[in-house]
Structure 1
Amino acid sequence: MKFLTPLLVALLWCALASAQMGTLNADNLSSVTSEQISDQDLNTYYQKAKASNVSDAQIEQLLRARGMAVGEIGKIMQRLKGLGGIANLTVNAKPDTKQNNTTRKQAPTKEILAEVELDSLEQMIYGMELFTNPSLSFEPDLQIATPLDYVVGPGDVLSVIIYGQSEASYNLKVSPEGNVFIQNAGIINVNGLTIAEPDQKIRAHLAKTIYRAINSGFTQVKTTLGGIRTIKVIVIGQARKPGVYSVSSFTTLFNLLYTCGGPSKNGSFRNIEVIRAGKRIAVADLYQFLHNGSTKANIRLTENDVVKINYYDKRIYLKGAFKRPGIYELTANENLQQTIDYAGGFIDSAYREQVRITEVAGKQKEIKTVVASNFNGFKPATGSTIEAEYVYARFKNRISAEGAFKRAGTYSVESASSLLKLVQLADGLREGAFTEKISISRLNADLTYSTASYNLKAILNGTEPDVVLQADDKVFIPIITDLRDKKTISVEGEVRKPGAYEYKTGMTIADAVIVAGGFTEAATGLRLEIGRRITNAESKDNIEIAEVINLDTERSLDQIKSSIALQPYDIVIVRTNLGYFVQKVVTVKGEVKFSGNYVLSNRNERLSDILNRAGGFTSLSNIKGVSLRRRVSADDPNADIRRNAAKKLFSTKNDSSAFTALIDSVEAYETVAIDVEEILKKPKSSIDILLQDGDVINVPSKDDVVKVKGEVLLQTQIAYIPNRRLSYYIDLAGGFSTQAQKRKAFVVASNGNGKRVKSFLIFKSNPIINAGDEIFVPKKLERDGKRVSVAEMVGITTALASVATVVIALLRL
């Protein structure tokens, strides 16, 4: 019982660590890593364990028993040493937080990398999973009934219960001399007795002293083991964790092997000795447990027992088509067949007739081939590599039936030895099989195929002889529909589902329109057009490339009259009704009396007309700044060029959201430069632009500032001063940045018109700035060693024109 208290403290240590790490289970630390525990917590938990007299070895045992990986346990102990040495840590130690953070971020040490490599090797050793699998546990079961051969010794606690005419109970701890003391009854020696013998001895002693009614049977006595003692055992040799262990007296050999981590990479699983009082009392072969389930060697340990794990004597490596490739240890008399049995035998796709063995022969290696009949007589040498190959992927008797067979697939040459037998075995032929010319591909000696053609129709009729098939033959019967083009027609124009459709003999225009979903609302029956393929031109010099048929008919499907039958590959085009119009809408925003959407009433409606319908301008409007944006067509080939050019032109360092919106708008709209003052003076003239569907007219508010954007030191807004030029406002914005294209600086007026710096020889002319103007300084292009392409230059030019009015609208939001 004395040992149980430190263990409980150690268990509390693990539970506290688990609580620190979140919702982890303290009974299962298999997923816990060393990095999850801070140095401060690690030091605190360690000191609590040491205060309860728990040794370092016991801490490692408990962590292992709770499933923590061996490598992680090693890292924890190494960190404890790094914080000042395990033996030198104190309760008041204060870890350096800075050092802690540095330690946890540093690269793995050579020792850790070596441990990882060792773990990889050990996982290949047969039996090592017993000691590395966190889901397995070989802790002694303390809840079982006391074994009859259990020998009582110092430290055990005997529970004596007296019942009947007299009732009493005693918990008697066995002294170091092997005695128990009962008050008024004296001292009784129980050392070295099996668990049944103290019961008789105590009964006899009590019957002579204070409980004489025992002799008459009126009082009964029952002695059991109430608490087990702690014993010390020693592990030496090639163990992963050799040393002295304090364990319960119920501990068996397997329990101790699990506690010490089992054999190391050089340790033997076949030769583990138990030495008691200087004599070897047992030799354990773990393969008997692993292979046969025998626990005969799992003897119970006693005080001062020594477990010696010897070096392995012979090991071989199995790889390839075995059920469990890995490293296996053999005894001197075991043969190749027994080795294969340890690996579970061959997998289903293995070539079982022989194995290839690589052995060390003096200064060189030697390859041997052992056939299956010699497996029992061959004894592999240590260090050998035994490889089992997979069966060859080639079939020795396969016939392939492809194409128009009802049951295409593979068949054996024994059951389909001829062409007629293959057809019968495949349940005959599908409809549409083309039997006049089939092909059989045959494998040549050089592994190439040759093809021969046969008339299966004649063979089926008996007018030609049957064909004998061979292994690896491929018989292909074509289907007639696969030998010709698929016949289609196309329906285009004002139908609901334009596209290509399968041609059917006797199809008419009405049939074609129906399969295409019928007419749209905009369709007309006038000027229906059929484009027909010419297949019989007299020469290549023929001018006509298609026959075009026009006809006028009714729009109603049930009234379409045409004696013209469609032919394969005809193209039917349905025209749009000349008198059909979809409403076109423009938008007026800003400082007008009635902003919103307006439907164009006729094709000739102009900008001035819509402004009049909007009620005219408000008193706050900036008439000079009125702009017009026009939607870019979805198939505009310059849209991507404009977008990429805009990205190169502008810096986004201070107003990223605005410039992102600007670049996005460039993709959807382009700006039409207008002068509303002139338009209103000359309505209906050529400068009074005809409006289109989707146009956006923006009437800005009066603005008495000038905005400076792009590659300047301070992007800002500056109060407007009449008759000042561009350079004046650049200076007030701090001047150009190092990335600025000074010569490319430009001005966007409120209405979208652009102005730039003009140069002639050494002279420069800066434009005069008006209220509400926007000054932009582009960023230098990143050439990456390449010249700007013509397409990029075109894109830059169009982008500058497109973004003009968009900039004003965005930056005033």
Structure 2
Amino acid sequence: MLPEVFTTSLNDLWPMDTSTLLPSSIELRMHQERAANQERKRREAEGQEQGRRLTESGQPIGSPEGLSRRNRAITGIHPGMPGQQGPNLQPPEDTRAKGFSMEQAFAQFSVLQTVKRRLKQFGYEFFDLQASSFAAVQDVPVGPDYVVGPQDSLAVHVWNVPDPNLNRSYIVPVERDGMLVIPRVGAIPVGGLTFSQVERVIHSRLRKLLKRFEVHVAMARLRTIKVYVVGEVVRPGAYEVSALATVSNAVYAACGPAKSGSLRQVTVVRDGRVVAKLDFYDFLLKGDRTQDRRLQAGDVVLVPPLGAVAAISGAVKRSAIYEFKPGSRLTDLLQLAGGLTPVADQRRCHIFRMEPGRGRVLIGVDLAAALKATGKNGNARSRESEVDPIIQDGDYVRIAALPTQVANVVGLAGAVKNPGPYEYRPGMRVHDLLTRDQLTVDAYLDRAEIIRTDPVTYGTQVIQFSPVALFKGDQEQNHRLHRLDQIVVASQLRPPKLVVLEGEVKRPGYFTIEQGERLSSALKRAGGFTPNAFPPGMVLIRESVRQKQEAELERFIAGERQRLAAESAGVAAGTAQLPGGGASAEQQVLALRLQQLEAISSRVDLGRVVVRLDSIERLEGTEDDIRLEAGDRITIPQPPQTVSIIGSVKNPSNVVHRVGLSLQDYLDEAGGPTEDANLKQMYVMRANGATESAYVRVKEMQPGDTIVVPQKIEAKTPKLALWKSVASIVGSIALAAAGIAVIGR
């Protein structure tokens, strides 16, 4: 039983209504949020009071004088930087680089090395993240060695007491004098004690009052301490951080070191003396935070200026700019970069160094020897500076990669069972690579080839030999192989010859043809024509004809271009004495000639073979029943219903075909020829691709015919002999187009 003095509920004496039956974590969090809101309101009130004073003194609140860096450092208020929660805003990229840019300096230094991207200073991007393991800690459990002090709040949970009214939980703050006042229990001195000691003290005090009970003590709220972060940081100043905060938490609260600050020499000053040093590289490279000491109120975290740096790139795992310690060697820098990649060429390591009086110098290093001298674990101290040189401030190390081409290789290709690359060995001969078992059944044994590639010039040489003689023991055929040689064995099998039939045939698709097979045979194999077929409009495109036409057309156009260029020079000289209007008209004529010349290739259906076809029965035995070639494409269209009129007519269009209409009738349907129409050069292109001169007046127009009316070129300037040559050139262009269209018939 409790003494009489303890029978009243402890909550009756507790000024805040925060006691419940075993409060949950949500209720504890609500208490923390209320305390944080009170602290924020207090700071806002202090800021308003400070603004009022500055306004009364005649200084605007937003001016640098009204809110100086010193005032920000004292209050610990920074934009987007609450003291306990870490930065809310990511610092701009340019705020981390102060003044001189080390990255820019190395970018200019390494221009000669074809570096694809600018090297970054190692480690600084870690502080650009909005969330980090270095963020201020607040909700983590405290350890048994945590020293309890003023402004800490403890949650004391009491249960398993016979009187149900005494099963209570309390949130009790530590007073400034270090006392923990529990109503009906009294004041307990806890200031300066560790958390484990506080648990024992509270348990001992309750034992004197209760015979049977259970008690649990936890931290409800941690106190904050004020520390100062100065030196080369993005936002120097005073910060209120958690009592559990370490050096890294304070540096992170200040947005991290500037790129002009050191990551390897961060110091903690307490009462005027250095009590700790932190090398961030230990955490970033090894995950080691043993040097990350816990801070105390009033500590000063100093980030000194950047120390000596060197850059390394190429065939390393982590190319960057690193800050190194005095006396570091090349292998130490290589270890910071994560080591070599598998493709590193240890024979091609270069150090680019700035030497006073000499400028930039290049130092070659045998990296293999340096690694061997260092030892397998990298801790050997018997290294010599010549083998493993000491790195100097500003050095740039470039390690080249091995070439991607395989050096010791020969190849086997063609009619063999296992084609591909093989290892080349000195003294290797053909029979070492090509055996009878390697050949396929279709291999051509009378002749094979060795394609030899010069490793210096990459020129090729073809050496022929006989596999049959080789297998019979003829040593003259057993050539000595060189690296990069490739043995090619031909096949006796020929690929099938295929043609394509599409459009209005009953079975369109790909068809294999025999040697000498004709068009009528392929059409029969395709099932003949459908009821919607228009045989006279058949289009046969042949690759061999297309290549020949293309060559002829290119040769013709090239010759005409040269001719136009020569005559243009004569025109320029001949029109020098003509009035200004004549020169302008001459330029228009030349431009038109060039346009017509360039339009030739688009007018001609390259590769088309003209075939007159009415039916398969009439085709057989005629000259139009041509032999097919591999790659031929045969298209049977549907019956056309129009006649096309293009060129120099007033209304180029397609006119519905009507029986009995003449060529002149169709010209009239298109509005008639224009003033510059050249009716003498007019021609008709039939549906089968054949052309007929309209000068003799085509008697009957058929569906699918196209009437082409060329343009007549006449000079507006005085008649010179030159204009006759102009007309002849344009005329020859049109005739050439018509001639090329029937090549291969």
Q: TM-score range by the shorter chain?
A: 0.5 to 0.7
1:141 CA drift (Å): 4.2
2:522 aligned residue: 512
Tell me how large the CA RMSD over aligned residues is: 5.6
Which consecutive residues of structure 1, in runs of 5 or more, have no partner in the other structure?
11-52, 76-109, 534-547, 585-630, 647-665, 673-683, 698-788, 795-813
Would you say 1:260 and 2:254 are equivalent positions? yes
Are the equivalent residues in 2 in contact too, given 1:151–1:193 (CA < 8 A)? yes
1:234 aligned residue: 228
Map of 1:22-41 to 2, 5 A cutoff? Answer: none
Are the equivalent residues in 1 in contact too, given 2:84–2:136 (CA < 8 A)? no
Would you say 1:369 and 2:325 are equivalent positions? no
Map of 1:82-101 to 2, 5 A cutoff? Answer: none
Given the alignment, which residue of 310, 330, 345 partners 1:351? 345
1:454 CA drift (Å): 2.1
1:554 CA drift (Å): 7.9
1:57 CA drift (Å): 1.7
Map of 1:344-423 to 2, 5 A cutoff? Answer: 344-363=338-357, 364-371=359-366, 372-375=368-371, 376=374, 377=383, 378=388, 379-414=390-425, 417-423=428-434
Would you say 1:133 and 2:129 are equivalent positions? yes
> Counterparts of 1:237 and 1:426 in 2: how far apart (Å)?
77
1:607 aligned residue: none
1:197 CA drift (Å): 2.5
Would you say 1:71 and 2:92 are equivalent positions? yes
Cα displacement string for residues 169-201 of structure 1 (whole angstroms, at most 9, x for unaligned residues): 443322333333344655443322211223344
Are the equivalent residues in 2 in contact too, given 1:270–1:329 (CA < 8 A)? yes
Are the equivalent residues in 2 in contact too, given 1:359–1:384 (CA < 8 A)? yes
Change (3 A) 1:556 1:293: same
Given the alignment, which residue of 292, 296, 305 partners 2:290? 296
1:199 aligned residue: 199
Are the equivalent residues in 1 in contact too, given 2:86–2:136 (CA < 8 A)? no
Cα displacement string for residues 202-229 of structure 1 (whole angstroms, at most 9, x for unaligned residues): 455667xxxx434xx3355544322111
SS at match of 1:433: strand
1:86 aligned residue: none
> Counterparts of 1:360 and 1:260 in 2: how far apart (Å)?
35
SS at match of 1:231: strand
Cα displacement string for residues 541-595 of structure 1 (whole angstroms, at most 9, x for unaligned residues): xxxxxxx9999998599xx999x9985659999999xxxx9696xxxxxxxxxxx
Would you say 1:4 and 2:36 are equivalent positions? yes
> Counterparts of 1:428 and 1:351 in 2: how far apart (Å)?
39
Are the equivalent residues in 1 in contact too, given 2:499–2:633 (CA < 8 A)? no
- The letter for the 1-side match of 2:514 is K
Would you say 1:440 and 2:455 are equivalent positions? no
Change (3 A) 1:235 1:122: farther
SS at match of 2:80: helix
1:150 CA drift (Å): 1.0
Instruction: Name which of structure 1's ranges 139-148 and 232-241 shifts more when overlaid on structure 2.
Output: 139-148
> Counterparts of 1:289 and 1:491 in 2: how far apart (Å)?
72
Would you say 1:218 and 2:212 are equivalent positions? yes
1:124 aligned residue: 120
SS at match of 1:125: coil
Would you say 1:142 and 2:152 are equivalent positions? no
Are the equivalent residues in 2 in contact too, given 1:173–1:180 (CA < 8 A)? yes
> Counterparts of 2:230 and 2:635 in 1: how far apart (Å)?
98
Given the alignment, which residue of 145, 149, 152 partners 1:153? 149
Cα displacement string for residues 45-104 of structure 1 (whole angstroms, at most 9, x for unaligned residues): xxxxxxxx99642623589957743118979xxxxxxxxxxxxxxxxxxxxxxxxxxxxx
> Counterparts of 1:436 and 1:174 in 2: how far apart (Å)?
100
**Higher relative contact order structure (alpha carbons within 8 Å, sequence separation ≥ 6):** 2
SS at match of 2:369: helix
> Counterparts of 2:279 and 2:490 in 1: how far apart (Å)?
67
> Counterparts of 2:513 and 2:347 in 1: how far apart (Å)?
60
Change (3 A) 1:573 1:72: closer
2:563 aligned residue: none
Are the equivalent residues in 1 in contact too, given 2:501–2:508 (CA < 8 A)? yes
1:15 aligned residue: none
Change (3 A) 1:201 1:686: closer
Change (3 A) 1:309 1:176: same
1:450 aligned residue: 461
1:437 CA drift (Å): 5.0
Change (3 A) 1:181 1:479: same
1:232 CA drift (Å): 0.6
Change (3 A) 1:668 1:280: farther
Would you say 1:273 and 2:267 are equivalent positions? yes
> Counterparts of 2:422 and 2:335 in 1: how far apart (Å)?
35
Change (3 A) 1:239 1:688: closer
1:16 aligned residue: none
> Counterparts of 1:162 and 1:549 in 2: how far apart (Å)?
108
Given the alignment, which residue of 489, 506, 531 partners 1:477? 489
Are the equivalent residues in 1 in contact too, given 2:158–2:169 (CA < 8 A)? yes
Change (3 A) 1:122 1:224: farther
Cα displacement string for residues 770-804 of structure 1 (whole angstroms, at most 9, x for unaligned residues): xxxxxxxxxxxxxxxxxxx999xx9xxxxxxxxxx
> Counterparts of 2:307 and 2:444 in 1: how far apart (Å)?
70
Map of 1:801-812 to 2, 5 A cutoff? Answer: none
TM-score (norm 2): 0.56
Are the equivalent residues in 2 in contact too, given 1:509–1:572 (CA < 8 A)? no
Cα displacement string for residues 288-318 of structure 1 (whole angstroms, at most 9, x for unaligned residues): 2222221212222221121111223321101
- The letter for the 2-side match of 1:365 is R
1:286 CA drift (Å): 1.6
Cα displacement string for residues 516-548 of structure 1 (whole angstroms, at most 9, x for unaligned residues): 45224377999x9x9xx9xxxxxxxxxxxxxx9
Map of 1:461-540 to 2, 5 A cutoff? Answer: 461-465=472-476, 466-479=478-491, 503-505=513-515, 507=517, 511-521=521-531
Which consecutive residues of structure 2, in runs of 5 or more, have no partner in the other structure?
1-31, 43-73, 108-116, 375-382, 545-609, 672-722, 731-745
Would you say 1:245 and 2:239 are equivalent positions? yes
Map of 1:780-795 to 2, 5 A cutoff? Answer: none
- The letter for the 1-side match of 2:78 is A
- The letter for the 2-side match of 1:267 is G
- The letter for the 2-side match of 1:243 is G
- The letter for the 1-side match of 2:241 is V
Are the equivalent residues in 2 in contact too, given 1:157–1:226 (CA < 8 A)? yes
Are the equivalent residues in 1 in contact too, given 2:180–2:189 (CA < 8 A)? yes
Are the equivalent residues in 2 in contact too, given 1:442–1:451 (CA < 8 A)? no
Change (3 A) 1:213 1:459: same
Aligned pair count? 509
Are the equivalent residues in 2 in contact too, given 1:160–1:224 (CA < 8 A)? yes
Change (3 A) 1:61 1:423: farther
> Counterparts of 2:86 and 2:654 in 1: how far apart (Å)?
71
Are the equivalent residues in 2 in contact too, given 1:6–1:54 (CA < 8 A)? no
Are the equivalent residues in 1 in contact too, given 2:505–2:529 (CA < 8 A)? yes
Are the equivalent residues in 1 in contact too, given 2:517–2:628 (CA < 8 A)? no
Change (3 A) 1:389 1:582: closer
Instruction: Name which of structure 1's ranges 503-512 and 296-305 shifts more when overlaid on structure 2.
Output: 503-512
Would you say 1:190 and 2:190 are equivalent positions? yes
SS at match of 2:264: strand
